[in-house]
Amino acid sequence: MIIGVPKEIKNNENRVALTPAGAKELIKRGHTVYVQHTAGVGSGFSDAEYQAAGANILPTIEATYEIAEMIMKVKEPIESEYKLIKENQLLFTYFHFASYEPLTKAMVASKSVCLAYETVEKADRSLPLLVPMSEVAGRMAIQKGANYLEKPLGGRGILLGGVPGVLPAKVLILGGGIVGTQAAWMAAGMGADVTIMDVSLGRMRYLDDVMPKNVKTMMSNEYNIREMIKHADLIVGAVLIPGAKAPHLITRDMLKDMKKGAVLVDVAVDQGGCIETCKPTTHENPTFVIDDVVHYCVANMPGAVPYTSTLALTNATLPYAIQLADKGWKKAAQENAELVPGLNVINGEIVYKAVAEAFNMPYTPVENFLA
């Protein structure tokens, strides 16, 4: 298969979908890899390193899309890329379709095959290609939150861990999944007073067992959330419904009950956000303030630590990329059930139910294409 790796062009996105080591693994199996000029530079990988691994360097994004049968990316295509995507071309990347209708309609119109990292799913319902970036984003949420709690950046002027004789900050984490767990570890390690809210008793029992004593768990419901936000200094939104839009757990009217200078970090913003007032921001302009509450809503948080993120992502995606390249998307999905829910759009048809429902668009069962 001919594989193309374009340079990411989303604002301040420095990750790349394939490392030189990953390219070498594909090439030694007989595949051809084309990498756009300087695609890896933001993550610390030079064109020369890709060439040493056996990859070919192309000068432009247009040339990369034109030659490739499979495009490997990190973030969803943006508007300037829509016209470059070809019928039957396989796109393997994060899409988060349910949060952005224009992207969904553009991919339907392109008649390409869209396999989304975030909905590839194991038998135990875990999301193996979302996990590494969720781990990064969860840890970063606390770093960023602690930073924006500083007074010069609009926060309350509170140190996350406090000092002897002064109470630490109160951190509220909505969601006890990968993001929430990693955020809790970081916040706890910095000495904060941490509460994780979740709807699963089983998950909370697990977290109670593994977390340090400064982490508590609490059932997530509207009443409890309304009570807890009154006291929180930093709130991390970490709720995910695979492939679907995140529910709004904190609504516009709740902000008036929060402390002035409190900080909201919505890690779910690329899936619509679980905080109603959060809208996607960029690393260039990461925050805004509503009702004296600081909102940090960067949609590609791991892009700020591209070296770590690129290595973590390639570790997870490469085994699936090899299967797709070796067998083609259809046979790979027939033989590996984990890839089936990753298929979101095929040749102009939406085959992931939650995406179709998000925009009231026609849905076609994916089995129609795999029979």
Query: Which whole number is the average pLDDT over 194-200?
Result: 97
CA distance 58 to 34: 7
Q: Annotation-wise, does 72 bind a ligand? A: no
Quickly count: other Cβ atoms within 10 Å of residue 152's Cβ: 7
CA distance 312 to 182: 15
Instruction: State yes or no: is 266 an active-site residue.
Output: no
* pLDDT tens digits for range 18-52: 999 999 999 999 999 999 999 999 999 999 999 99
Residue with tokens 């224009």: 102
Q: Annotation-wise, does 269 bind a ligand? A: yes
Strand partners of residue 288: 295
pLDDT confidence of residue 10: 86
What crossing angle do the helices spanning 131-148 and 306-335 adopt, rounded to 10°? 150
* pLDDT tens digits for range 134-168: 999 999 999 999 999 999 999 999 999 999 999 99
Q: Annotation-wise, does 15 bind a ligand? A: yes
pTM above 0.95, yes or no: no
CA distance 347 to 111: 4
Give residues with Cβ within 8 angstroms of 94, minimum separation 6.
73, 74, 75, 76, 116, 117, 118, 133, 270
Q: Annotation-wise, does 171 bind a ligand? A: no
Give residues with Cβ within 8 angstroms of 56, minimum separation 6.
32, 33, 34, 35
CA distance 314 to 288: 33
pLDDT higher than 80, residue 16: yes
CA distance 131 to 258: 31
Give residues with Cβ within 8 angstroms of 302, minimum separation 6.
15, 133, 136, 137, 140, 308, 309
Kind and range of the H or E run holding 147: helix 131-148
In order of their start, the domains of the chain are 2-126+305-369 (3.40.50.720), 131-296 (3.40.50.720)
Give residues with Cβ within 8 angstroms of 176, minimum separation 6.
184, 196, 197, 198, 200, 203, 204, 207, 217, 238
Confidence of residue 240 (pLDDT cuts 50, 70, 90): confident
pLDDT confidence of residue 245: 77
pLDDT higher than 90, residue 300: no
For residue 104 the two structure tokens come to 């969904």
Three-state DSSP class for 155?
coil
pLDDT higher than 90, residue 208: yes
Average model confidence (pLDDT) across the chain? 96
- Render the burial of 346-367: b for 16+ CB within 10 Å, e for the rest: beebbbbebbbebeeeeebebe
Q: What share of the chain is helix, strand, coil (3-state, %, to 5)?
A: 40, 20, 40
pLDDT confidence of residue 371: 86
Instruction: State yes or no: is 270 an active-site residue.
Output: yes
Query: Which whole number is the average pLDDT over 337-357?
Result: 97
Quickly count: other Cβ atoms within 10 Å of residue 194's Cβ: 28
Three-state DSSP class for 67?
helix
pLDDT confidence of residue 349: 98
Q: Annotation-wise, does 70 bind a ligand? A: no
pLDDT confidence of residue 272: 83
pLDDT higher than 90, residue 201: yes
For residue 74 the two structure tokens come to 């990190």
- Give the lowest-confidence range in 4-13, 145-154, 191-200: 4-13
pLDDT confidence of residue 337: 97
- Give the lowest-confidence range in 10-14, 157-161, 322-326: 10-14
* pLDDT tens digits for range 210-229: 999 999 999 999 999 999 99
Contact 186, 138 (CB under 8 A): yes
Contact 148, 296 (CB under 8 A): yes
Q: Annotation-wise, does 300 bind a ligand? A: yes
Contact 65, 81 (CB under 8 A): yes
Of the residues 96, 193, 266, 295, only one is catalytic, namely 96
Strand partners of residue 145: none
Q: Annotation-wise, does 193 bind a ligand? A: no
Query: Which whole number is the average pLDDT over 246-269?
Result: 95
Of the residues 193, 233, 270, 295, only one is catalytic, namely 270
pLDDT confidence of residue 286: 96
